[in-house]
Amino acid sequence: MAKDFLTAVQERRSYYGISKDAVVSDERIKEIIDHAVKYTPSSFNSQSARVVVLLGDHHDTLWNITKETLRGIVPADQFAPTEEKMNAFGSGYGTILFFEDQKVVGGLQEAFAAYADNFPIWSNHSSGMLQFVVWTALENEGFGASLQHYNPIIDEEVKQEWKVPENWKLIAQMPFGKPVATPGEKEFQPLADRVKIYK
């Protein structure tokens, strides 16, 4: 039985211990992504979000690309923890790449010059909402996921490997899989310090 919305929001966490075991079908994963991309709001209804879903060998390739890119940046004597992290992400079932179409953003900047400086910001807002919708929906199906940001250091190889259009800007990567380790307890700051209501 599906969880209610607020319970799903509450139970969405960052899972770093994930496996390649299937939780739902690939067709169900596509349904979730399609639904999220279609119905997540965007400023001026720009619909600038673009998504690439990597499963199987494609998922493995992404994290090998990321690992080898980082190997060229991180000192060799400090690389072991980085390699361990890349292997953990690679041990998942798949990865979702979130992009924003800069051609759409640029078109809005030209059409509405008074708001030009805001459209890149609003584009990121929209992407953040989409990431949250997908993350929560995957959790609701029984997957564990986390949100990563290895852009821009992997951008060019990603575009070449998966023939991504040049105007798509990589925003985030979301490895997901069957949870094999439970996240630790999460601490919360007092809500009285974070929420103000006037009536």
The closest of 59, 17, 62, 56 to 153, measured between CA atoms, is 62
Confirm if 164 and 99 have CB atoms less than 8 A apart. Answer: yes
pTM: 0.95
Least confident of 4-8, 36-40, 177-181: 4-8
Q: CA 13 → CA 73, 107, 143, distances in Å? A: 29, 36, 10
Cα-based torsion angle of the residue sequence 84, 85, 87, 92 in order, rounded to the nearest 10 degrees: 150
Q: Which two tokens stand for residue 26?
A: 């690939």
Write out pLDDT tens, residues 87-120.
Answer: 999 999 999 999 999 999 999 999 999 999 999 9
Handedness of CA 57, 158, 17, 179 (dihedral sign): negative
- Ordered by start, the domain boundaries in the chain are 5-180
Closest CA to 54 of 16, 92, 101: 92
C-alpha to C-alpha distance for 51 and 37, rounded to whole angstroms: 8
**Cα separation, 52 vs 20, whole angstroms:** 18
| CATH class entry, domain 5-180 | alpha beta
- Average the pLDDT over 160-171 and give the result: 98
Q: How far apart are CA 91 and CA 133, in angstroms?
A: 23
Residue 188 has which token pair? 């919360």
Residue 166 pLDDT > 70: yes
Other C-beta atoms within 10 Å of 97: how many? 21
Residue 1 pLDDT exceeds 70: no
Residue 140 has pLDDT above 70, yes or no: yes
Q: Locate 58 and state its tokens.
A: 């494609």
Q: Are 133 and 96 in contact (CB under 8 A)?
A: no
> What is the pLDDT at residue 161?
98
Quote the strand ranges of the chain, DSSP E: 18-19, 49-55, 94-101, 144-145, 168-179
Structure tokens that stand for 73 in this block:
């940046």
**Alpha-carbon span 45 to 104, nearest angstrom:** 11
Residue 167, CB-side half-sphere exposure with 13 Å CA sphere: 9
| pLDDT 10s digits, 19-62 | 999 999 999 999 999 999 999 999 999 999 999 999 999 999 99
